[in-house]
Amino acid sequence: MQKNLNAARILVVGDVMLDRYWFGDVSRISPEAPVPVVRVERREERLGGAANVARNAVALGAYTGLLGVVGKDEAGDAVQELVTGLHINSYLNRDAAIPTIIKLRVIGRQQQLLRIDFEDPPSETVLRDKLSQFNALLPEYDVIVLSDYAKGSLVNVTHMIAAARKAGKRILVDPKGDDFSRYKGASILTPNKSELRHVVGSWKTEAELTEKAQRLRSALELEALLLTRSEEGMSLYTESEVTHIPTIAREVFDVSGAGDTVIATLAAMLGNGLPLAEAVSIANRAGGIVVGKLGTATVTREELFG
């Protein structure tokens, strides 16, 4: 099963972005201000946000669909072209009223020097159409991943979770914000430490963290809460037990997009029938691999299983 992961059918829904990278050489400081001058030598475009989750899922062999909103602009065309080229099933809605979300990163000497964001929330009409489309797509997929970057694409997340739960789907959520109540009824939430702290407050001991995490898991009626803890690995909280998975020791090069890789890998493993604890262990391994790469990146089956 680990060699053949093609049984998973994953629908990724959320904030779709275009990640742009400008790579260049830095050899001097600007005479106009105390900032480095980057002479751009190479440009790259990659899928970002929910689209990066889909990119990671399809890299593992999963049958993957992407539902989201982009603008009717050049960046939206670029997203569509990248999605099509990766054989992701595209359910992108084009909203003429907004620009496509772009994160532009300027890289000099293998370090990120600057990030510039372009974003506006999508219109209510497009979001209404998206909810109808989500309901129509549910029968085609087994695992639903809701990738929330707080950019406005998941205002209907409560209705989506209710519909997916009624249809008997596994629902994974990468959450944002200080109110997780809208994710009630999902199967698994995957917050990082900072995101969890926003919701439950700080903790001083492992026992206090466990108590707060389990109280939240119970209140939201989750199957599990998976806390990603960067250098501390992950902690999986279920009704019956708490499991700590240590991090895979390696050089951390870039953490951007690591959460996308983790939730995509988790979805792919669960979609192929692996037990939750084993799926989490493999997702942890994938996160450890991807932070050793520059920018939003993917992990292959060969890297995971050798």
The residues assigned a catalytic role are 260
| Alpha-carbon span 283 to 227, nearest angstrom | 12
- Extended strands (E) in 239-299: 242-245
- What tokens were used for 234? 């992950």
Strand order in the sheet with 111-118: 36-49, 16-29, 101-108, 111-118
Q: With contact defined as beta carbons under 8 Å apart, do 101 and 151 qualify?
A: yes
Q: With contact defined as beta carbons under 8 Å apart, do 161 and 186 qualify?
A: yes
Q: List CB contacts of 206: < 8 A, sequence separation 6 or more.
A: none
| Alpha-carbon span 258 to 141, nearest angstrom | 24
Return the bridge partners of 94, or none: 70
Burial of 249 (0-12, 13-18, 19+ CB in 10 A): exposed
Round to the nearest angstrom and report the end-to-end CA distance of the chain.
Answer: 14
| Alpha-carbon span 126 to 253, nearest angstrom | 37
Number of H helices and number of E strands within the chain? 9, 13
| Residue 267, H or E segment | helix 258-271
